[in-house]
Chain A
């Protein structure tokens, strides 16, 4: 059961990653090409659907399958680059606080507390509204906001290894602090961080979709899944697939990432990370 779930998660994540990479080669149509004579065509499995547009078309007659495939690129890009940005910030803070302790740690804890008290979505929306919506802005905004779990976990993990023998040995051998933190501490807390990375990636993808849904994420006509749901909202009562198709895709991808993260936690024995 456990292995099945982890395997399923791994399969979903890699499948979406593969689709994101080869989207231009497998998409049946241009995801931006409008055809106003073919608006809101139902998917193949519904009445009035056809094999030309397997997932139907949207309100501008754009092929929904092609938009969905291209949309995976946005979700994966957001997920990966947000995690890199937030990981750099959070792990740096966590290592500093965990290794040096004392005043440094107080400062790190204070920064984490401040970050937690700021309403996430509200601040992200404000930043995107002021700076202007683009993929880069969304990635940087989310990256600058989603680092606190990295910081908390790397801080706790660093504290656990700080006083172990091999660190003392490195210190006795005259290794510099930077060397100890990067070469001795970091590799030993990495398993915990991989698990956090999956959680944050899932969260970043959900938040991008929510921001795009509110019109302050990735700008149109980019096929962000959140934006597709927002654009389909006005037509959902008569053409429910316009919100079901991207919504299910989003749900499956996030579920896959979470399954993978849970499986990794068990496999790597990384213990229980903090849940929000």
Chain B
């Protein structure tokens, strides 16, 4: 059940120069949230942040009725939300969008680039509930952008790659040595991050004939299927990322990979 509610900020923590985690408490018991679901947050009251901003739901606490969001500052909206203080009210529409599927398969590789880690704590939790685990390959431009790593530890192995080479292997995510193994250690891939990275991962998955789901980002006016702005081209025509996604199997997309 989608809800529109005033949440209260109960925690706000900067992780580095450009990202933070904000935790908000719901006024009533939370609706169930699945990995990949997102929320539309009203930041508002500024002429330059007119629309809500969509954020992947990073973590959920069903006992305390809190949602948290991992936010990277990219513009006015994310900067303004970064100034929120404990006790502030924030209006949120949630849960929106579809979710990652839990595959039958057991060797799951999660590929996350930069702020693309956002949906994967919930994914790790859901895998754990199904007695599964994953390998988390996490990449970023700079070592200081690698944050919140320890949170993934309970849900599987962690591999790191950075373009500056100061943490983990050096290079782009798709250059990680895991992809060079003759005996490729996975049979299902899920990915979220910059589009060129996801396209490259989708290409690798396709080449190795491995099932793959991607979580897409898109500019949205509403987030619930009314505006028809956030489309992606699929084999069945244009689809709204907000209602038919954000998670798509790569076979649905028309990406040339």
| Chain B binds chain A | no
